[in-house]
Structure 1
Amino acid sequence: MTKQIFAAGTIPWRRVLTPAGAEELMVLLIHRRKQRDISFPKGKLDAGESMPEAAVRETREETGLRVRLGATLGTIHYELPGGNAKIVQYWAAEVTAKMALASTFKPNSEVQALEWVPVAAARDLLSYEADRELFDVFLKLAAPGLLDTFSVTLLRHAKATARGEEAAEDYLRPLTPSGERQAHTLAPILRSFAPRRIYSSTATRCLATVAPLAERIGKDVRERDCLSQDFWDRGDLTATRRLIGKIVKRGRSTVVCSHLPVLPDLARELMLASGSLPGEYVEDAARLPPAGFSVFHFSRTRPGAGILGVETYPLKH
């Protein structure tokens, strides 16, 4: 029986100045010792680990770089010797000068060397066709200058107690024990996208959902009534529209925690604020189970370029 093996990785990139003073885009390739090949950093998921967490961890272990995940590049599929299938999800990951200097990489039994190469030379150096196809996706972002990205994550609160079960008011409903576990599971996954801001509905169940993330990244939660279901029920979304527009305009990676009925309007506001084309993908990204989330990627320098990609995670529990 064919077994599916899941892995995750990144294409680290940076801009450097040439001796002539021009800016050049470089990508990082790894030379693996045992396989005698050249590829991008990647590796298999640990037990219970998510794809985003694995991509960040594997990049750190193989290159010494602590990266944040940028634009999603999709997945590649290929067959392993013996007939098993390998599925690898990738993201672009910017490496700043500070991050590069902080790298702890030393040649080891797995990775023989790291090599920063100009994008024009990278494709021919890659050992595998699947990696070359992945790199072509990367180039489609690089060519129009869309690599410098930020993300807005729409998050549905974790599982809460039923109406009237523990709280007289709906907005005071707490998380169930299962929901509390979901909230703690979410924190390291969401951290992979390096959020700079956390916005939440004023409902207890939303605030409790993002509390572990806020503690992990050392950020305050910005409570907003315009993200609550009670506010949405009143029908005037002017303040909600204003908030989403401000988030997109500021261009900082942000997590927004709200409620199932509110999420479709939040997704549509993201679409409108970025000049994106409408489509079912927007509704699909807002159709989330408890603790599910969708990550929308935008260009930081060209926010009007629209939604560059969406990845949705119905949290398993």
Structure 2
Amino acid sequence: MSPTAVTNAEESARLQADVLAAGAVCWREGRSGLEVLLVHRPRYDDWSWPKGKVDKGETLPECAVREVAEETGFDIHLGLPMPSARYTVGRRLTKHVSYWAAEVTSDKPAKPDDPKEIDRAEWFPVGTARAKLSRFADREQLDRLEHAHRTGALRAWALIIVRHGKAFPRSKWHETEHVRPLLALGTRQSMALTGLLAAWRIKRVVSSPWKRCVATLKPYSAAVGRSIKTVAPLSEKANAANPKKTAKALVAILEKGKPTVICTHRPVLPTVLAVLADHAPAGLAERLPKKDPYMNPGEILVAYVRPGPVPRIVEFERYRPIDA
């Protein structure tokens, strides 16, 4: 499993770390305003964000969701990425922790799975949490959370672009192109995407009508009980004939303002990336991939879109569940 970030610096930091972990800054709107959830570890007598190490075969987003559930009892979906943490543990091992914001709407009390590891999980106003956090560096995530809250980005929704899984080689396929299927690896990638995509709250599942794209999203669609809406302009042929129509279809999806996953083809990605760049600040747009093949088979690109009448992308990240 090789999680790949949009930014080379972030990817390099992950690849160089000895230990990978993930967690979330869980938040809610309370009576006193913005509140965050901290956990107490009796072994260290400290307060921190819920987090934990990646299990074998698990991506960082999946790890964050699992660890929050284990340490707090809350089932979350990921929101805006927060700053990652990097520090030394044990015998000079480097640990990299990825964080996301996660809104908690449940009013049930927190309930950690293992009291020996986490004996308390409590909500605090941000001012109290700032003083309560044991590691000074953990305030970096809190600073970003407060800034996102002030700017309206904290409830950013996810638009996820998927490049379809590994398909039967084009050069060896002698039938109609739109029915060219996935290889066994592509099928494994589609299955692995089910867990990865479940880390975000997705409302719409959209695909090119071609077989390999629909097949890439089919396991996820079945798992969450959402039908796949096929959009003709997302196919290779339609994009080659009229990329403006493809771009218009993508803009319409952005303007709907609903968390969406879209599966399309490598040759369509330049059109997709151009639309995303048009809806992002220049500095952020510069981080999008620029060279063919842009994304690996089965890889996802997550664009976080600030709610509002004009869709504006505030962050990007990329992951792939299985290496090609």
Instruction: Work out whether residues 78 and 130 of structure 1, in 8 Å CA contact, stay in contact via their aligned partners in 2.
Output: no
Q: Gapped runs of 5+ residues in structure 2?
A: 1-15
User: Given the superposition, is the C-alpha separation of residues 163 and 119 from structure 1 closer, same or farther in structure 2, using an over 3 Å criterion?
Assistant: same
Q: Does 1:176 align with 2:190?
A: no
Report the counterpart of residue 303 of structure 2 in structure 1. 296
- SS of equivalent to 1:308: strand
The number of equivalent residue pairs is 306
- SS of equivalent to 1:143: helix
- Per-residue deviation, 1:119: 1.5
Instruction: Work out whether residues 126 and 142 of structure 2, in 8 Å CA contact, stay in contact via their aligned partners in 1.
Output: no
Q: Does 1:8 align with 2:22?
A: yes
User: Residue 260 of structure 1 aligns to which amino acid in structure 2?
Assistant: R
User: Residue 277 of structure 1 aligns to which amino acid in structure 2?
Assistant: A
Report the counterpart of residue 94 of structure 2 in structure 1. 85
Q: CA offsets per residue over residues 169-222 of structure 1, 9 Å max, x none?
A: 111100001110111011110110121111101111101000011011110000
- SS of equivalent to 1:92: strand
Q: Does 1:17 align with 2:51?
A: no
User: Given the superposition, is the C-alpha separation of residues 145 and 257 from structure 1 closer, same or farther in structure 2, using an over 3 Å criterion?
Assistant: same
Q: Does 1:215 align with 2:222?
A: yes
Instruction: Work out whether residues 183 and 208 of structure 1, in 8 Å CA contact, stay in contact via their aligned partners in 2.
Output: yes
Instruction: Work out whether residues 264 and 282 of structure 1, in 8 Å CA contact, stay in contact via their aligned partners in 2.
Output: no
Q: CA offsets per residue over residues 268-317 of structure 1, 9 Å max, x none?
A: 21332x3533643133598101111110101124754x321111114433
Normalising to structure 1: TM-score of the pair? 0.90
- Per-residue deviation, 1:107: 7.1
Q: Give the percent of matched residue pairs that are identical in Structure 1 and Structure 2.
A: 33
Normalising to structure 2: TM-score of the pair? 0.88
- SS of equivalent to 1:34: coil
Pairing 1:1-317 to 2, within 5 Å after superposition: 4-18=18-32, 24-96=33-105, 99-101=106-108, 104-105=111-112, 108-163=115-170, 165-166=172-173, 168-234=175-241, 236-272=242-278, 274=279, 276-277=281-282, 279-284=285-290, 287-301=294-308, 303-304=310-311, 306-317=312-323
| Aligned equivalents of 1:246, 1:120: Cα separation in 2 | 40
User: Given the superposition, is the C-alpha separation of residues 123 and 102 from structure 1 closer, same or farther in structure 2, using an over 3 Å criterion?
Assistant: closer
Greater length-normalized contact order (CA 8 Å, ≥ 6 residues apart): 2
- Per-residue deviation, 1:122: 1.6
- Per-residue deviation, 1:140: 2.2
Instruction: Work out whether residues 77 and 130 of structure 1, in 8 Å CA contact, stay in contact via their aligned partners in 2.
Output: no
Q: Which segment is superposed worse, 210-219 or 158-167? A: 158-167
User: Residue 44 of structure 1 aligns to which amino acid in structure 2?
Assistant: K
User: Residue 289 of structure 2 aligns to which amino acid in structure 1?
Assistant: E
Q: Gapped runs of 5+ residues in structure 1?
A: 19-23
How big is the alpha-carbon RMSD for the aligned residues of Structure 1 and Structure 2?
Answer: 2.1
Q: CA offsets per residue over residues 50-72 of structure 1, 9 Å max, x none?
A: 00000000000000000000001
| Aligned equivalents of 1:145, 1:151: Cα separation in 2 | 15
Instruction: Work out whether residues 107 and 113 of structure 1, in 8 Å CA contact, stay in contact via their aligned partners in 2.
Output: no
Q: Which segment is superposed worse, 69-78 or 136-145? A: 136-145
Instruction: Work out whether residues 200 and 223 of structure 1, in 8 Å CA contact, stay in contact via their aligned partners in 2.
Output: yes
